[in-house]
Amino acid sequence: MTRRLLAALLLALTAGTACAGQDAAGKPGEAQGRVTLRVGDQKAGSQAILKAAGLLGGTSYTITWSQFTSGPPLLEAVNAGAVDIGGVGNTPPVFAAASGSKIKVVSAYRQSAKGSAILVPGGSSITSPEQLKGRKVAVAKGSSAHYHLLAVLKKAGLSFADIQPQYLQPADALAAFSSGTVDAWAIWDPFTSQAKIQHGARLLVDGTGVVNGLGFQVAAPAAIEDTGKRAAIADFLTRLARARVWAAAHLDEWAKVWAQETGLPAEVANAAVANAVATPVEIDDSVVSSEQEIADAFGAEGLIPGTVTFSQFVDDRFNEVVGKAAR
């Protein structure tokens, strides 16, 4: 499909949105075509930022939301056909691609690497990444934190074989970290801010100069090829891009909604959003190349099977509509 035709579909969908006030008021089924877009989300993710920006309602299609603990299980749902699209960090698409999943990266954004952190308890004797050798480190397998940890270890002259990785989802990892069961935790915001503020965690190293800060919306190929869902995806990505631009200029308002949606204290939300400002970026050769480096790094460690050619899991047809929305 040409970008011109995609833009026409989006225009038609937007026109339908303007007439779909009843749908925005919570009466799905009155929208044009009764398209349902099934969206996967994570804590303080797409739903929260769209709500904060006032862009959650008024669609001419119905959105159903499913919450996931991290990116890998979200992409498992995309591959299984249970979710049409969802937001993840820079590493889940690599693991999904390595397993042969049916996914396509359809939009990208870049944010500060400061929210990506390797934390240690406040009273820990660990003061440098080199001292992680032989230690138990909690991390969600296949998550953005997984690559952050791998890159930090490599920079310190270590490999995954030198530590005892504890593959835990964030809630379980927080429990293990706060109880002293693990020596360190590789994680992302808002969990980084939550652990530091509520549990006295100390930052060992953040992602600055180590990770690419990329995040993605990843869709099921079947959803992209469906005419109605393709137009809904284009509109959804446009709204997300506009919401990110809004959030960058309204951190306080965003933090208030974030706190309400997640149940996190205002102090935690305020700290987290400061690191979560994200700028929509075009999916270009530099993005693909950066992700290929991640895939190659995991392959070299034997942490994923076979070889991944990341470009085969990218669909850049939405670049234009996202770019316009972000300007």
Architecture per CATH, domain 116-206, reads as: 3-Layer(aba) Sandwich (3.40)
* CATH no. of 36-111+213-305+312-326: 3.40.190.10
Give 205's strand partners.
118
Residues 6+ apart with CB under 8 A from 96: 72, 75, 76, 78, 79, 103, 142, 218, 313
The domain ranges of the chain are 36-111+213-305+312-326, 116-206
9 pLDDT more than 90: no
CA dist., res. 306 & res. 19, Å (int): 50
Measured CA distances, 287 to 212, 238, 277, 284 (Å): 9, 19, 18, 5
CA dist., res. 129 & res. 126, Å (int): 8
Kindly provide the b/e burial profile for residues 257-286, where b requires at least 16 CB atoms within 10 angstroms of the residue's own CB.
bbbebbebeeebbbbbbebbbbebbebeee
Q: According to the model, what pLDDT value does residue 21 have?
A: 31
Q: What average pLDDT score do residues 279-307 get? A: 96
Residues 6+ apart with CB under 8 A from 34: 28, 61, 62
116-206: same fold as 36-111+213-305+312-326?
yes
Q: According to the model, what pLDDT value does residue 33 have?
A: 57
Give me the sign of the Cα torsion angle 217, 305, 148, 184.
positive
The neighbour count for residue 309, using CB atoms within 10 Å, is 10
Q: According to the model, what pLDDT value does residue 8 have?
A: 38
The neighbour count for residue 292, using CB atoms within 10 Å, is 15
Please name the helix (run of DSSP H) or strand (run of DSSP E) that holds residue 196, with its range, or none. helix 191-199
Enter the tokens of residue 11.
Answer: 């225009």
Q: According to the model, what pLDDT value does residue 25 have?
A: 28
Residues 74-84 have pLDDT tens digits of: 999 999 999 99
Whole-prediction pTM value? 0.87
In single-letter form, the type of residue at position 186 comes to: A
Nearest to residue 229, comparing CAs of 87, 38, 49? Answer: 38
Q: What average pLDDT score do residues 22-39 get? A: 56
Q: What average pLDDT score do residues 75-100 get? A: 97
CA dist., res. 305 & res. 291, Å (int): 16
Q: What average pLDDT score do residues 225-244 get? A: 97
Residues 119-137 have pLDDT tens digits of: 999 999 999 999 999 999 9
Confidence of residue 38 (pLDDT cuts 50, 70, 90): very high
- The DSSP-derived string for 43-64 is TTSHHHHHHHTT-SS--SSEEE
Residues 299-319 have pLDDT tens digits of: 999 999 999 999 999 999 999
Average pLDDT, the chain: 90
Question: Phi and psi dihedrals of 5, rounded to 5?
Answer: -65, -40
20 pLDDT more than 90: no
Q: What average pLDDT score do residues 93-101 get? A: 97
Q: According to the model, what pLDDT value does residue 233 have?
A: 98
Nearest to residue 195, comparing CAs of 173, 166, 174, 209? Answer: 174
